[in-house]
């Protein structure tokens, strides 16, 4: 079973924080060894001195011996214990599904969150890149409460300092948790336009959080923390042994949306430039620039693409996204150009040309309103839990 080593590591925590069954080449410079089964183990959260110790063949041999002994002991467990362990392993697996998923040796992320709602940041895929010196956080979720949930999940993986927060764009589900990381000393990095958009709109968005279906309890303690470092084209961050590139192509999902590339691991965080199996929010979208950004994304060497919302993605999902926004834009222009355009009928017509997605269907109407009918949404009375103007 592919995930077994990782599960087993959870019942021998005194030795190893996690295992993974990948090629040692995927963890350049890191502390590793292989056993006859080609398993690689990594001791997470070590500083450089500890890494030197761990790299010592004698130490590695001892660790492996301990692990093998632990596995032998497990084999000898009574059937009752095996039942108990199976239950615990199942519980851990269920927990892992709600926490951060290992994407590559240095990258973890929330991914494929189901039942998106305001309370779970509309299922936004925030993540981390762990270097030798510290951690880079990509997006901070929708509130102080959600940011603290994220921090707790980060601390299950690494105790290293959080050096930087990257905001992929200004929308609340990606940046309203910023302050919780600022308090820990992290510098917030974003595109200049993202910073401009936050200064212009974030305070208003926070004051009107109820419009997005968020309760005062869910938003308790949330403060806006603005970017400390901005850039216009590209900027690189290096938290130690792993490069992180922040790339701006054009106005796309929002004016200041960016891509985050981890080239050594062929991983890209796209923010909301890519939604997979989830209807995208398009209210701030620039279709031409968005197509350019997706074209660029398709040229990057990337095996694992983390969308803003939805499951781990591939180049096919990038092509599908371009097709979606192109189809949406063409059809929405056609339908809303008619003088007697009615939102409900337009949405019904849109559904006939758009692909079926598991989540976010309400966004079809929200996009039509925000981008094509240009209604003043704030003056509309909102029902509780009406998510029609949210911004995933
Ligand atoms: Zn989003």
Predicted confidence (pLDDT) per residue in 20-41, tens digit: 333 344 443 333 333 323 233 3
158 and 52, same structural domain?
no
105 and 94, same structural domain?
no
47 CA from centroid of ligand 1 (Å): 34
354 and 339, same structural domain?
yes
Q: Which of 7-11, 150-154, 214-218 has the lowest mean pLDDT?
A: 7-11
274 and 168, same structural domain?
yes
Predicted confidence (pLDDT) per residue in 280-336, tens digit: 999 999 999 999 999 999 999 999 999 999 999 999 999 999 999 999 999 999 999
Whether 342 is covered by a domain: the verdict is yes
Under DSSP, is residue 28 helix (H, G, I), strand (E, B) or coil? coil
Whether 185 is covered by a domain: the verdict is yes
Predicted confidence (pLDDT) per residue in 256-288, tens digit: 999 999 999 999 999 999 999 999 999 999 999
Whether 386 is covered by a domain: the verdict is no
With vertex at residue 318, the alpha carbon angle to CA 316 and CA 319, rounded to the nearest 5 degrees, is 65
The confidence band for 126, taking pLDDT boundaries of 50, 70 and 90, is very high
119 CA from centroid of ligand 1 (Å): 13
Whether 125 is covered by a domain: the verdict is yes
109 CA from centroid of ligand 1 (Å): 14
348 CA from centroid of ligand 1 (Å): 24
Whether 235 is covered by a domain: the verdict is yes
331 and 300, same structural domain?
yes
Q: Tell me how many domains the chain contains.
A: 2
What pTM did the predictor assign?
0.73
How large is the average pLDDT for residues 85-103?
A: 55
The confidence band for 339, taking pLDDT boundaries of 50, 70 and 90, is confident
> Of how many residues is the chain composed?
392
Burial 306-321 (b: 16+ CB within 10 A, else e): bbbbbbbbeeebbebb
202 and 61, same structural domain?
no
Higher pLDDT: 270 or 82? It is: 270
61 CA from centroid of ligand 1 (Å): 46
Strand extents, DSSP E, the chain: 18-20, 40-42, 101-104, 107-109, 127-130, 135-138, 162-166, 187-191, 229-231, 234-237, 244-247, 259-262, 267-269, 304-306
CA distance 275 to 278: 6
Whether 381 is covered by a domain: the verdict is no
Q: Domain containing 50: what range?
A: 4-98
345 CA from centroid of ligand 1 (Å): 26
134 and 92, same structural domain?
no
224 and 78, same structural domain?
no
Cα–Cα separations (whole angstroms), residue 211 to 44, 368, 385: 41, 18, 9
271 CA from centroid of ligand 1 (Å): 7
The domain boundary, picked from 38, 66, 98, lies at: 98
Task: Look up the CATH number of the domain holding residue 256.
Answer: 3.60.15.10
115 and 81, same structural domain?
no
How large is the average pLDDT for residues 50-59?
A: 51
Q: Locate tokens 């969308």: which residue?
A: 307
Q: Which residues surround ligand 1, an ion (CB under 5 A)?
A: 124, 173, 272, 308, 392
pLDDT above 50 (res 90):
no
119 and 58, same structural domain?
no
Per-residue pLDDT, 96: 41
Spatial strand order in the sheet of 304-306? 234-237, 244-247, 259-262, 267-269, 304-306
Cα–Cα separations (whole angstroms), residue 84 to 5, 77, 111: 18, 10, 29
pLDDT above 90 (res 43):
no
Per-residue pLDDT, 341: 81
132 CA from centroid of ligand 1 (Å): 29
Whether 29 is covered by a domain: the verdict is yes
- Token couple for 42: 């990594």
The domain boundary, picked from 67, 98, 129, lies at: 98
97 CA from centroid of ligand 1 (Å): 20
145 and 83, same structural domain?
no
CB atoms within 10 A of CB 391: 23
What are the residues facing 261 on neighbouring strands?
245, 268
Per-residue pLDDT, 1: 38
Per-residue pLDDT, 338: 87
161 and 75, same structural domain?
no
């Amino acid at each position: 079973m592919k995930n077994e080593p990782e599960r087993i590591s959870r019942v021998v925590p005194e030795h190893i924080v996690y295992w993974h069954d990948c090629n040692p080449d995927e963890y350049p410079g890191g502390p590793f060894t292989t056993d006859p089964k080609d398993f690689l183990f990594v001791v997470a959260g070590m500083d450089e001195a500890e890494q030197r110790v761990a790299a010592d063949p004698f130490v590695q041999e001892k660790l492996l011996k301990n692990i093998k002994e632990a596995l032998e002991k497990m084999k000898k467990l009574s059937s009752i214990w095996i039942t108990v362990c199976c239950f615990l392993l199942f519980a851990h697996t269920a927990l892992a599904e709600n926490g951060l998923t290992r994407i590559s040796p240095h990258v973890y992320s929330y991914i494929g969150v189901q039942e998106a709602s305001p309370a779970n940041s509309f299922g936004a895929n925030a993540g981390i890149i762990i270097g030798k010196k510290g951690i880079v956080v990509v997006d901070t979720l929708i509130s102080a409460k959600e940011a603290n949930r994220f921090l707790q999940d980060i601390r299950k993986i690494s105790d290293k300092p959080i050096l930087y927060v990257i905001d992929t764009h200004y929308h609340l589900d990606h940046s309203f948790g910023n302050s919780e990381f600022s308090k820990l000393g992290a510098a917030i990095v974003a595109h200049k336009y993202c910073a401009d958009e936050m200064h212009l709109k974030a305070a208003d968005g926070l004051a009107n959080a109820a419009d997005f279906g968020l309760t005062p309890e869910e938003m308790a303690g949330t403060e806006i923390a603005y970017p400390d470092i901005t850039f216009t084209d590209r900027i690189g961050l290096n938290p130690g042994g792993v490069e992180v590139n922040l790339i701006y192509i054009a106005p796309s999902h929002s004016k200041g949306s960016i891509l985050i590339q981890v080239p050594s691991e062929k991983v890209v965080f796209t923010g909301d430039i890519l939604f997979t199996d989830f209807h995208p929010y398009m209210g701030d979208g620039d279709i031409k620039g968005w197509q350019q950004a997706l074209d660029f994304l398709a040229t990057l060497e990337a095996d694992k693409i983390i969308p803003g919302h939805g499951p781990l993605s591939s180049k096919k999902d990038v092509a599908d996204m371009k097709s979606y926004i192109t189809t949406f834009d063409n059809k929405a222009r056609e339908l809303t150009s008619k003088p007697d355009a009615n939102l409900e009928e337009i949405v019904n017509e849109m559904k006939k040309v758009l692909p079926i997605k598991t989540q976010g269907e309400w966004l079809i109407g929200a996009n039509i309103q925000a981008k094509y009918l240009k209604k003043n949404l704030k003056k509309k009375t909102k029902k509780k839990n009406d998510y029609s103007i949210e911004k995933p």
